[in-house]
């Protein structure tokens, strides 16, 4: 996996990482983390550390990487600039690339003129390709800034096979003489990824299908260097359900960290992502990571452009994992989502009431906030509500033993003696005690609240 530290790690990156990880583990390969930080303009301070942290938080670890080294170190591209320069110069000397001295102003003017002519896309006009050796030497002597561009062959058909999309062909006439090495000495993605994948002995490249248009350029570089290209596997990208747009913050979290902060369990998200673009051919939906590794086959990756990210389905799946979790472990995981005053022993009492009602850990606050803070008393209570509450207060105040059986018996006796409708009676109590119509089981909640707090809340509501 080769993240670029230009922002927060996207949940789609976790899906790509997952597929790479499963493939590597199944085939006794190695999982390598490489930091592609060559876009110095968009580099975000601290992003590398946050990316590595969130990958670990999702349960993954790597055998080689920037923090632990390995046989092909360094694993951060900004520390490999001499390597890229060497190979870029090699391409120039062999006629597969050339130096371009054009200024940013000239390039901007060139693109503007091409747009005015109605060209479907702008391409470099090869002005510097035709410089004589003497002109180039003169510019170098004068210290003029330059980039190194890939020289595309004329009218050549580039054919490569993708595991998912089959045989794909491009004509070189449609490809731009893209920059390989920037004037600051940093490579672009095109050069950096080809050189590093070869030197690090990467056998399979698995990435989003938005990189398909770059692949013919890479194939030409492999050919120029005389290297065997890796197997390519392009994955469908993720979109919002019912939309043609990629994931958007308007619909919910998009970064890998945000999902964890919302209270999704990493193992549930991983399970959900397994099924976004891959199908086992069975009806099985719940997979452990080991089960997925055992059955994962790139040949079964879906041949579509975009795969729907069904957030409701993720909620359901996360709820399934919460329900099956050990109650003690769930209590510990809920601590960050509970009020700061909450103690673990209190959560262990509460969890059995809500574990089947939660879709996310963050649901805890809405479901159980009333157990830690009394409602503000602004509930819209009718005269009937107040009558119910008064009788409940009277019944509960006489209890000597405050447990579930005693509370159940006392309240049902009040219902019977006053000919109340059970559902309306308990809804009135629910509003008075919690401030909400939907809560965990009410009587069990009263046990946790205690007699004094329960009676105080009932009194405030009458």
> Hunting for tokens 């194939």 — which residue is that?
219
H or E segment and range at residue 25: helix 11-26
3-state secondary structure 303-363: CCCEEEECHHHHHHHHHHHHHHCCHHHHHHHHHHHCCCCCCHHHHHHHHHHHCCCCCCCCH
Q: How far apart are CA 439 and CA 426, in angstroms?
A: 12
Of 141, 249, 340, 437, the catalytic one is: 249
Peptide linkage before 74 cis (omega within 30 of 0): yes
Q: How far apart are CA 148 and CA 88, in angstroms?
A: 7
* Strands 166-171 and 157-162, bridge-based pairing: antiparallel
Residue 201 buriedness (CB in 10 A; 0-12 / 13-18 / 19+):
exposed
- Give the gyration radius of the chain's Cα atoms: 31
Helices (H), 175-310: 189-199, 215-225, 256-261, 266-274, 289-295
Residue 129 Cα distances to 142, 169, 186, angstroms: 19, 26, 21
CA-based end-to-end distance of the chain? 62
Copy the structure tokens of residue 310: 């069904």
Q: How far apart are CA 155 and CA 151, in angstroms?
A: 12
Closest residue by Cα to residue 407 from 392, 388, 422? 392
Residue 221 region by backbone torsions, left for phi larger than 0, else alpha for psi between -120 and 50, else beta: alpha
Residue 294 Cα distances to 126, 267, 288, 406, 432, angstroms: 50, 16, 10, 53, 53
Distance from chain centroid for Cα 118: 38
Q: How far apart are CA 408 and CA 150, in angstroms?
A: 79
Residues 6+ apart with CB under 8 A from 349: 448
Question: Active-site residue 333, yes or no?
Answer: no
Angle among Cα 155, 156, 159 to the nearest 5 degrees reads 145
Q: How far apart are CA 442 and CA 389, in angstroms?
A: 14
| Active site residue ranges | 249
């Amino acid at each position: 996996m080769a993240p670029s530290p230009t922002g927060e790690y996207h949940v789609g990156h976790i899906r790509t990482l997952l597929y790479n990880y499963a493939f590597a583990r199944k085939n006794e390969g190695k999982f390598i983390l490489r930091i592609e930080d060559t876009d110095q303009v968009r580099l975000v301070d601290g992003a590398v550390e946050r990316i590595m942290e969130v990958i670990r938080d999702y349960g993954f670890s790597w055998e080689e990487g920037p923090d632990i080294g390995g046989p092909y170190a360094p694993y951060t591209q900004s520390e490999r600039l001499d390597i890229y320069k060497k190979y870029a110069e090699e391409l120039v000397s062999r006629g597969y690339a050339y130096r371009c001295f054009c200024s940013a102003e000239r390039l901007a003017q060139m693109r503007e003129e091409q747009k005015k002519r109605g060209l479907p896309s702008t391409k470099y006009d090869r002005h510097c390709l035709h410089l004589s050796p003497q002109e180039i030497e003169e510019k170098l002597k004068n210290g003029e800034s330059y980039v190194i561009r890939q020289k595309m062959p004329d009218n050549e058909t580039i054919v490569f096979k993708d595991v998912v999309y089959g045989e794909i062909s491009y004509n070189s006439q449609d490809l731009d003489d893209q920059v390989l090495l920037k004037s600051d000495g940093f490579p672009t993605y095109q050069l950096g990824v080809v050189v590093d994948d070869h030197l690090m002995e990467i056998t399979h490249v698995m990435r989003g299908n938005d990189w398909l248009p770059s692949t013919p350029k890479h194939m030409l570089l492999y050919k120029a260097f005389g290297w065997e290209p890796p197997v390519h596997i392009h994955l469908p990208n993720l979109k919002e359900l019912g939309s043609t747009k990629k994931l958007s913050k308007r619909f919910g979290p998009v970064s890998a960290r945000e999902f964890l902060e919302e209270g999704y369990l990493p193992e549930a998200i991983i399970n959900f992502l397994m099924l976004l673009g891959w199908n086992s051919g069975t009806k099985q939906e719940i997979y452990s990571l080991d089960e997925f590794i055992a059955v994962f086959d790139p040949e079964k990756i879906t041949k579509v452009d975009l795969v729907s990210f069904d957030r409701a389905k993720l909620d359901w799946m996360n709820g399934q994992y919460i329900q099956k979790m050990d109650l003690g472990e769930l209590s510990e995981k809920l601590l960050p989502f509970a009020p700061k005053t909450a103690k673990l022993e209190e959560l262990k009492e509460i969890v059995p009431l809500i574990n089947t009602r939660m879709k996310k850990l963050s649901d805890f606050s809405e479901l159980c906030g009333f157990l830690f803070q009394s409602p503000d008393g602004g509930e819209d209570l009718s005269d009937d509500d107040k009558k119910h509450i008064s009788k409940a207060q009277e019944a509960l105040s006489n209890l000597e033993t405050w447990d579930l059986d005693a509370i159940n018996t006392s309240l049902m006796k009040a219902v019977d003696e006053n000919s109340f409708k059970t559902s309306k009676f308990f809804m009135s109590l629910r509003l008075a005690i919690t401030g909400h119509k939907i809560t965990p089981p009410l009587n069990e909640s009263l046990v946790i609240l205690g007699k004094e707090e329960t009676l105080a809340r009932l009194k405030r509501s009458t």
